[in-house]
Structure 1
Amino acid sequence: MYYRKVKAYIEEFEMIREGDQVIAGVSGGGDSMAMLSCLRQYREEMDFSLKVVHVHHGIRGEEADRDAALVKQVCSDWQIPCQILRYDVPDLAKGWKVGTEEAGRRVRQEAFTLASKGCTARVRIALAHNQDDLAETVVHNLCRGTGIRGLSAMRPVSDPIIRPVLCLKKQQILEYLKGAGILYGQDSTNLSEEYTRNRIRHRILPLLQEQINPKASAHMAETAQLLAAAGDYLFAQGECLLKQYASFKEGAYYLQEDFFRQESALVPYGLLTAFYQVSGRQQDFTSLHVKDIQKLVSRQVGRQVQLPYGMRAVRTYQGISLLPGSQHEDGKQTEEQLEEYRKGWGIPIPGSVKCPLGVVSARVFSYEGQKIEENKYTKWLDYDTIYSSLSVRTRSPGDYLVIDQKGNRKKLNRCFIDDKIPREKREQLPLIAAGEEILWIIGGRISEKHKITQTTVRVIELQYQGGTIHE
């Protein structure tokens, strides 16, 4: 019964198409084991590839080892390819100067990127969130204060992510596991009420379902879906305002005064989009920050507002400048920010990354002699000649570009000089890199080593959005 419900949900939202590569994130817990079982069964009806990724976070000791062993054994029994990836998340969190939750999110993203490496089919990343998880998120965000985005963050499909069991309540999943005789692990941290989410899960949601409405979680899921559609529309309209009344240049947004005179319901969504593109992050920006920027428009030139992640909004003669974090008053980057830009941001393949340098999207497809895309901000490269993960970043010592088919190299700084790129722009210029090798000076030349040839089998298409690079 529950499998049929999941199957109908997958088909309703067209989560999986014939020929897709589905990569399932399986922790070993009940939700992910039920999801894997449903995907395994659905694969008998739909022709797609299925593989599993399990991330060992290096946090829960023997319990985590037990979960990894369980996932490996079940995948072996079910003849599903399985990749176990181990990370020391606490150590990485210290090095990255972030919390363990954020570090865990980053390593999981990296794990899925590695797992999708070399895939020629459309990739779908399956996560095992259930209906109670969605309700828990809605309640949590509502209590903290949120807008449409926070109330609709967990969607059935958020390309390339799919959530096949989002239609099931936790109790239904447990019943499915018991009926199918599927073993699963229990994460002891989920039982502790030290965490706010666990208190919502163990106290508030049961109270709502028992004393208000047994279908409380289901109704929250329906509302979240309606809000998601409304939010998509409002953000799209807000982005249209940015294109008309603002410019994104060298990691900063410059908003004209006329931007703030537009439809009052849309301006906040334009500002939230601008915050995201400048900082590369969606978290921690609230309606209070939006109001602070709107008030700044009526203040004297030179007045400022501090924003999350070190960002600043500055009143100028033309309007408002949204500047990325760690900049001096003269607008120049500090060494701290330069180092962050040099390290860069990984590019999921397929997928996209948004960061202070702009937005980079990647997709892979079979090459059958198509006309090569000729565009300043879209490039095609031979995917099978690339052996390292890709990142978007700024220049770093040791960078080089392959300048001919013989493999001869030229130092990146020499390329900048030859291409007459102004010295003051070289530190901010976004690059697509594979280690020290530069594949594309965005807005300029690409590596000769990775150009499309008659022997090319697979193409990686890279697209950049972000603003003026150099002319």
Structure 2
Amino acid sequence: MYRKVLSYIKDNNLIKPNDKILIALSGGPDSICLLNVLFELREELNISIAAAHLNHLLRGEDAFEDERYVINTCNDMGIKCFVKRVDINAYSKESKLSSEMAGRNARYDFFDEILEKEGFNKIATAHNANDQAETVLFRLMRGTGLEGLGGIRASRDDKIIRPILCLSREEVENYVKLKNLNPRIDKTNFEKIYNRNKIRLDILPYMKENFNEDIVQTLNRMSTLLQKDNEFLEKLSAGLYNKYCMECNDYFIIKKEIFKEEESLVNRVLRHALTRYSKSNYDFEVKHIYEISCLAQKYSGKLVHLPNGVCAENVYGDIYIKTKTKKSDINSKKEEIILGKDNIYINTVEFHKYVIQFSIINGYNENSINLKQGDFVKYFDFDKINNNISIRNRKNGDKIIPLGMSGSKKLKDIFIDMKIPKNERECIPILCFDERIAWVIGIRISEEYKLTSKSTNILKVVVQRKEY
């Protein structure tokens, strides 16, 4: 069996020499098997291991017995063990999550905390081949796509690994029995009030007896094949994501042109945008993807509410993925930075998510100054400025004399003409000279401060987005 696990680890590139692996140790047969297998293989793999146990405080004295068993087992093996207690019922109510999801979040928060503090680089969990088969059937009955039918992956994010996913539950139980490990048994695993337990205790045995004696391995082979197909489609959709999606700090934009592509790929892009924005892989279902697709066919300003505090809005055909904000949140961001003209030489300031750099160039030379460097590099006649230079948010009634025009125009009308979303308008910096608008950054510059052949001192302004 060690050879089987070792081969699986190498085939899936799960472990590298010098890895520091934290084993998620519940005390049950699967995790005890995983602990002992990696302990036996640690020298051959050239790794170091430790264990982490989260007491969910859900099963009374049994939970504390599990905790003591884990600690004693690790002490006997000379392995460091990290233990934490979390009241999952209280955490579930506070976070408004199911007990299962709350438990999962608490566990991985605990594991990540240990990784960061103790220098481990991987988390090993004890999923086995039967878990894979149960997961595939569970997702099939709930309704899922190709990715869902792929089941549990051997690794995720090069951090979470499942080294014994190749072993059946029967192999695991035979191993712990042979090694006389006496693992803890969670009695709730035999209660048929849970759907997953019904699959484990009723459906899979029925399928094995009446249809396919090798059903667990058959479902595992299917999931492996579907994972490969899914990887191919993921590569295709990644190309579309890079082409049509733009990630901003506060929101994501999905360009309307994407909806001309193949629906199966578009759906993947939408799901990826949602999970990437919300940093959650578990909140969004097929119906939410469908809602966004329908939203793209509706009028601008239409909005749908999604799980995890996320919403999607149609903005002139583009889809904006964002967190719904209150007006009070927007108003709280309003501020103004005022700089004296005499102090502007080689000066850099930060305004919200932008870095704005000022510099002075002596003498206007068409050969040395490129006026077409882009929307975020502009030049102005410095001598036309009397006193102050300021950067601020827009105000009601703001006007500018756009370059090439003689009359002023309201910023509101410019934004509407350019189809700039309302939520973006509040975040666009306004550069003013003596309280007159010189540049709506990235949008329009003013006729009043343009360079001429008579300009002698030039103010160069370069704007960059801050890196996060």
Q: Separation in 1 of the partners of 2:351 and 2:325? A: 27
Of structures 1 and 2, the one with the larger relative CO (CA 8 A, separation 6+) is 1
> Which residue of 1 is the match for residue 461 of structure 2?
none
Instruction: Give the Cα separation in 2 of the matches to 1:154 and 1:242.
Output: 24
Higher deviation after alignment, 218-227 or 63-72: 218-227
- Are 1:105 and 2:104 matched, yes or no? yes
Aligned equivalents of 1:416, 1:246: Cα separation in 2: 23
The Cα shift of 1:301 comes to 2.7
- Whether 2:303 is the aligned partner of 1:323: answer no
Give aligned-pair identity as a percent: 31
1:194-237 superposed Cα distances (whole Å, 9 cap, x missing partner): 11111111001111111111211112112212222322332332
- For 1:219, the equivalent position in structure 2 comes to 218
What whole-Å deviation, never above 9, does each CA across 1:399-448 have from its counterpart, x for those lacking one?
xxxxxxxxxxxxxx9996996796799x99xxxxxxxxxxxxxxxxxxxx
**Structure 1: which 5+ runs fail to align?**
339-393, 395-412, 429-466
Q: 1:416 to 1:287 in 2, by over 3 A?
A: closer
**Structure 2 contact 55–67 (Cα < 8 Å) conserved:** yes
Decide whether aligned partners of structure 1 residues 298 and 47 sit closer, same or farther in structure 2, where only a CA change above 3 A counts: closer
Query: Is residue 244 from structure 1 mapped to residue 258 from structure 2 by the alignment?
Result: no
CA distance in 2, matches of 1:167, 1:241: 34
Q: Secondary structure at the match of 2:45?
A: coil
Matched, 1:198 2:197: yes
Aligned to 2:77: 78
- Deviation track 1:343-376 (CA, whole Å, cap 9, x = no partner) reads xxxxxxxxxxxxxxxxxxxxxxxxxxxxxxxxxx
Single out whichever of 209-218 and 291-300 deviates more from structure 2.
291-300
The residue aligned with 1:180 is: 179
Aligned mates of 2:465, 2:314 — CA distance in 1: 22
Q: TM-score, normalised by structure 1?
A: 0.68
| Rg comparison, structure with higher value | 2
Amino acid at match of 2:44: E
Runs of 5+ consecutive residues of structure 2 not aligned to the other structure:
334-348, 357-390, 395-423, 428-463
Partner of 2:140: 142
Distance across 1 between alignment mates of 2:111 and 2:194: 27
Distance in structure 2 (CA, Å) of the matches to 1:419 and 1:319: 27
Partners of 1:248 and 1:468 within 8 A in 2: no
The Cα of 1:333 is off from its aligned counterpart by: 5.2
CA–CA distance in 2 between the matches of 1:243 and 1:285?
Answer: 21
Gap change, CA 1:423 and 1:128, over 3 Å in 2: farther
What's 2:37 paired with?
Answer: 38
Establish whether residue 95 from structure 1 lines up as the match of residue 94 from structure 2: yes
Residue 278 of structure 1, CA deviation = 2.7
Which residue number in structure 1 is paired with residue 308 of structure 2? Answer: 309
Q: Deviations over 1:76-113 (max 9, x none)?
A: 11111111122222222233232222221122112212
Write the distance in 1 (CA, Å) between the matches of 2:27 and 2:239. Answer: 43
Structure 2 contact 300–317 (Cα < 8 Å) conserved: no
Change (3 A) 1:153 1:327: farther
Q: Which residue of 2 aligns with 1:151?
A: 149
Q: Give the superposed CA RMSD.
A: 3.1
Shift in Å at residue 242 of structure 1?
2.5
**TM-score scaled by length of structure 2:** 0.68
**1:307-344 per-position Cα deviation (integer Å, ceiling 9, x unaligned):** 333433322224222332x435x7x7599xx9xxxxxx
The one of 117, 120, 123 aligned to 2:121: 123
Counterpart-to-counterpart distance in 2, 1:118 and 1:307: 35
Give the residue type in structure 2 aligned to 1:146: T
1:45 is paired with a residue whose SS is: helix
Against the structure 1 CA distance between its residues 422 and 48, is the aligned structure 2 distance closer, same or farther, given a 3 Å change threshold? farther
Which deviations, in whole Å up to 9, do the C-alpha atoms of 1:379-413 show, x marking residues without a partner?
xxxxxxxxxxxxxxx9xxxxxxxxxxxxxxxxxx9
Residue 266 of structure 1 aligns to a residue in which SS? helix
Match of 1:134, as an amino acid? Q
Work out the CA distance in 2 between the residues paired with 1:24 and 1:91: 26
Q: Following the alignment from structure 2 to structure 1, what is the Cα–Cα distance between the partners of residues 285 and 115?
A: 34
CA distance in 2, matches of 1:108, 1:247: 32
Q: Is the 8 A contact 1:235 1:273 kept in 2?
A: no
Q: Output the CA distance in 2 between the equivalents of 1:154 and 1:418.
A: 41
Mapped partners of 2:351, 2:319: distance in 1? 35
* Count of equivalent residues: 352
Query: CA 1:309/1:422 → structure 2, altered by over 3 Å: closer, same or farther?
Result: farther
Aligned to 1:162: 161
3-state SS of paired residue (2:184):
coil
Say whether the 8 Å CA contact 2:271–2:289 is kept in structure 1. yes
CA distance in 2, matches of 1:271, 1:468: 25
The 3 A distance-change label for structure 1 pair 418 and 304 is: closer
Q: State the Cα deviation string for residues 39-65 of structure 1 (Å, max 9, x = none).
A: 111114232101111111111121011
Report the CA distance between 1:73 and its aligned residue: 1.1
Q: Distance in 1 between matches of 2:291 and 2:350?
A: 44
Confirm or deny that 1:277 pairs with 2:286.
Answer: no
Q: Structure 1 residues 327, 69: closer, same or farther in 2, change over 3 A?
A: same
Conserved 8 A contact 2:28-2:185: yes
Task: Give, in whole Å, the separation in 2 of the partners of 1:99 and 1:126.
Answer: 24
